[in-house]
């Protein structure tokens, strides 16, 4: 059976450990090959031969309600609504728990610490504290207990296991002391009802702040989804405009776009002329003129005139919708560096439980040896502190939060990253190889020099060449015809037209044998009956921001080179005009030679191309980058897609990737450093009786530090110019 991809919506995912629990449950099935789940979006991508309903049942059984996402195309509005609803619901849940937990704990704490000095304590105090703490455990606790129980039923543990044992131990120990006190046994030990309530309240506060920060970190994605309007004005046969939901728009519909309105789907201008602001899609800072026949992109703004466009895509398949879906899939994928964190998280909880057992065992032995059983109470507190302070939530958040911000900011600039692994690899790139035509150049050559032989005028040379090239679709033929049309030269109809691939054309013009051949000296040598009558030099033009792209790459410490199938002199001319070192130019190479050159590279290499002849090289490179206007074959073979005619998107991509990778490393350092330094401190009881409270606050602070660092990444990237990126440091 052929492997297929299944998409699921997984609910009630609160942390990276929840994701790992669901992943392991799926991977245990023999028909599942690969699983990726995003804690931010709740989307799961499963590859294998398992039935979709069975996959959803497995995840639901693991403790996370799940349903299958059907194959009906989603609009950007639908995706935006789902993300907003999930984000709001997640934040609301933790806000309610935090308010209840802290709202009860604060008066408990005041009462606990002031009753003695005020001489108002008595048997009633433990009753009040016990009832209030039990209320917190009953209302706030299930958010942690149910998750831990689901993991335990499968013989596993998760981050909530530590919270459950810590808070549960403090509460249960206090209940035992309270019962002994009611039985008349004077144990002389303090209760920890207040601490149990504080743990659940403070950790819920940390999750609430984390949920709010995560929402801010994902703003780039939601902003991207909001670029596409919910409705469009469709022109009926009678010429009347009817407002319809975007999901009802299909290719071929004629749509009215009023001044100031957003273009709802990709299309071609059928009527009107206007300046269109495409800055949010392509990064171009100035509006561009769009006339009849020009392409327009969904999400761009019609600034001036009235436009009628013919839709070339449906509402669910526009550029914005594809970007949104690709970003969503990227968030569900995993970078290799995340796998390290996942493995650590997988063994971390059992290791912490072992440390907790050693802690309580050590303190108990010490209490027995010196016959001071007050140390047993100290051991209980030290054990609870170990469980709380070692919760590796920050470790699980370190990579996905940075990836979410990085892919979102790339999406703002029209850079489509297909996987988290591709973004990670792009962050390690030290060399970029460009194809020339359509990547660094316009891909539409123009006539630069007209050199008629003595006795032949320029117009006559153009007339003969234009006639021979009249039926050709080659870019050189189009360049010649454009000059002929500009000079209003009338050309006769050719006969016996023959196109010779890689060489030129032959035709009979007014009874004479005409050849337009490519040669080593010029793009076209024109002969009539075997006699040369002149040469027409046709050259491609570099894209306007290609020099800035090369300069920015050098500033980032990344070398740039060119592999082209064109003539050497044409490649060197473009290289000189964009500031590329001639030593880094190879011309006249075949697709096989391109792929071999990339395969033999000794450093991490990013290949940029747009044609079928680039597909093999794109698939071979460390990171393959296709130009959005390129062939489907090239786009399918690439890891990343950048907007057409914007080579400056390449250094921007590398800058985003490098900063994202650096943020991941920083986050992992914060998480590892926090856990490895604080666990011994907690185990030896150095935090005292306030240890559990300090642990809860420190754990929340660790999570917020990681999420805040990701938010800082997004703010920094939004300040970067789209055309002249600074250094990645």
CB 693 within 8 A of CB 619: no
* Alpha helices, H only, 33-122: 52-61, 76-114
Residue with tokens 């050098």: 554
Tokens describing residue 517: 């051949």
Query: CA-CA distance, 583 to 595, in Å (whole number)?
Result: 19
Query: CA-CA distance, 292 to 340, in Å (whole number)?
Result: 53
Tokens describing residue 470: 């009249």
Measured from the Cβ of residue 241, the count of other Cβ atoms closer than 10 Å reads 15
Out of 435, 566, 610, 614, pick the active-site residue. 435
Q: Provide the b/e sequence for 508-545 (b: ≥16 CB within 10 Å).
A: bbeeeebbbbbeeebbbbbbbeeeebbbbebbbebbeb
* Alpha helices, H only, 241-335: 279-282, 319-332
CB 484 within 8 A of CB 446: no
- What is the SS3 assignment for 594? helix
Active site residue 70: no
Report in angstroms the alpha-carbon separations of 540 from 190, 319, 439: 84, 28, 11
CB 8 within 8 A of CB 46: yes
Query: CA-CA distance, 565 to 434, in Å (whole number)?
Result: 12
- What is the SS3 assignment for 447? strand
Measured from the Cβ of residue 373, the count of other Cβ atoms closer than 10 Å reads 14
Pick from 675, 15, 684, 613: which is nearest to 342 by CA? 15
Report in angstroms the alpha-carbon separations of 193 from 39, 55, 88, 127, 291: 33, 42, 32, 10, 73
HEC per residue, 328-395: HHHHHCCCHHHHHHHHHHHHHHHHHHHHHHHHHHHHHHHHHHHCCCHHHHHHHHHHHHHHHHCCCHHH
Query: CA-CA distance, 417 to 337, in Å (whole number)?
Result: 17
Pick from 657, 618, 621, 622: which is nearest to 638 by CA? 618
Q: Is the dihedral of CA 328, 331, 333, 335 positive or negative?
A: positive
Q: Is the dihedral of CA 479, 482, 486, 491 positive or negative?
A: positive
Strand order in the sheet with 504-509: 446-452, 531-539, 524-528, 512-517, 504-509, 495-500
- What is the SS3 assignment for 449? strand
Pick from 327, 212, 226, 309: which is nearest to 269 by CA? 309
* Alpha helices, H only, 390-457: 393-412, 420-426
CB 507 within 8 A of CB 404: no
CB 144 within 8 A of CB 121: no
> 46's torsion region: left (phi>0), alpha (psi -120 to 50) or beta?
beta
> 605-609 and 585-586 as β-strands: parallel, antiparallel, unpaired?
unpaired
Residues serving a catalytic function are 435
């Amino acid at each position: 059976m052929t492997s297929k991809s299944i998409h699921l919506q997984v609910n009630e995912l609160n942390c990276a450990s929840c994701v790992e629990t669901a992943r392991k449950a799926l991977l245990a099935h023999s028909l599942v090959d690969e699983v990726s789940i995003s804690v931010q979006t709740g989307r799961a991508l499963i590859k294998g031969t398992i039935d979709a309903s069975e996959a959803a049942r497995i995840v639901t059984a693991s403790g996370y309600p799940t349903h299958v996402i059907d194959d009906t195309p989603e609009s950007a509005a639908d995706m935006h609504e789902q993300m907003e609803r999930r984000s709001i619901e997640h934040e609301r849940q933790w806000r309610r728990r935090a308010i209840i937990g802290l709202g009860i704990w604060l008066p408990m704490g005041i009462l606990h610490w002031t009753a003695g000095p005020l001489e108002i304590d008595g048997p009633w105090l433990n009753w009040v504290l016990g009832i209030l703490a039990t209320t917190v455990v009953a209302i706030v606790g299930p958010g942690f207990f149910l998750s831990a129980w689901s993991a335990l039923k499968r013989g596993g543990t998760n981050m909530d296991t530590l919270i459950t044992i810590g808070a549960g131990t403090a509460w249960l120990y206090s209940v035992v002391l309270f019962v002994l006190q009611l039985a008349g046994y004077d144990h002389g030990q303090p209760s920890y009802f207040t601490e149990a309530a504080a743990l659940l309240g403070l950790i819920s506060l940390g999750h609430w702040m984390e949920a709010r920060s995560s929402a801010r970190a994902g703003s780039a994605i939601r902003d991207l989804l909001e670029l596409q309007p919910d409705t469009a004005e469709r022109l009926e046969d009678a010429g009347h405009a009817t407002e319809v939901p975007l999901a009802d728009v299909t290719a071929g519909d004629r749509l009215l776009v009023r001044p100031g309105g957003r273009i709802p789907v990709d299309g071609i201008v059928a009527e009107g002329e206007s300046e269109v602001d495409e800055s949010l899609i392509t990064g171009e800072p100035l509006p561009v003129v769009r006339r009849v026949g020009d392409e327009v992109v969904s999400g761009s703004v019609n600034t001036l005139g009235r436009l009628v466009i013919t839709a070339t895509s449906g509402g669910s398949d526009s550029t914005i919708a594809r970007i949104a879906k690709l970003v969503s899939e990227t968030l569900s994928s995993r970078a290799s560096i995340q796998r390290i964190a996942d493995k650590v998280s997988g063994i971390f909880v059992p290791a912490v439980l072992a440390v907790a057992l050693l802690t309580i065992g050590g303190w108990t032995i010490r209490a027995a040896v010196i016959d001071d059983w007050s140390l047993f109470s100290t051991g209980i507190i030290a054990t609870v502190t170990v469980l709380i302070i070692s919760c590796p939530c920050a470790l699980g958040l370190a990579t996905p939060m940075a990836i979410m911000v990085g892919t979102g900011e790339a999406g703002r600039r029209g850079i489509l990253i297909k996987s988290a692994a591709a973004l990670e690899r792009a962050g390690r790139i030290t060399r970029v190889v460009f194809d020339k035509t359509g990547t660094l150049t316009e891909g539409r050559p123009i006539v630069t020099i007209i050199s008629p032989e003595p006795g032949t005028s320029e117009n006559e040379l153009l007339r003969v060449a234009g006639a021979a090239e009249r039926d050709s679709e080659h870019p050189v033929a189009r360049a010649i015809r454009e000059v002929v049309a500009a000079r209003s030269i009338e050309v006769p109809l050719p006969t016996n037209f023959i196109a010779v691939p890689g060489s030129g054309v032959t035709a009979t013009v007014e009874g004479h044998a005409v050849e337009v051949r490519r040669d080593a000296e010029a793009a076209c040598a024109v002969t009539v009956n075997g006699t040369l009558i002149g040469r027409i030099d046709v050259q491609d033009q570099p894209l306007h921001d290609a020099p800035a792209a090369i300069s920015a790459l050098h500033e980032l410490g990344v070398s740039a080179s060119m592999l082209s199938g064109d003539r050497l002199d044409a490649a060197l001319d473009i290289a000189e005009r964009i500031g590329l070192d001639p030593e880094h130019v190879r011309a006249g190479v075949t697709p096989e030679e391109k792929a071999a050159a990339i395969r033999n590279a000794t450093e991490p290499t990013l290949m940029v191309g747009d044609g079928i002849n680039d597909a093999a090289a794109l698939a071979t490179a460390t990171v393959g980058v296709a130009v959005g206007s390129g062939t489907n074959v090239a786009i399918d073979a690439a890891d990343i897609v950048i907007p057409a005619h914007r080579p400056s998107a390449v250094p921007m991509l590398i800058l985003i990737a490098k900063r994202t990778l650096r943020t991941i490393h920083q986050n992992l350092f914060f998480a590892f450093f926090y856990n490895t330094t604080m666990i011994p401190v907690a185990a030896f009881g150095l935090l005292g009786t306030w240890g559990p409270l300090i642990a809860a606050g420190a754990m929340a602070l660790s999570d917020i530090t990681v999420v805040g660092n990701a938010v800082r990444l997004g703010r920094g990237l939004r300040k970067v110019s789209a055309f002249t990126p600074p250094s990645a440091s």
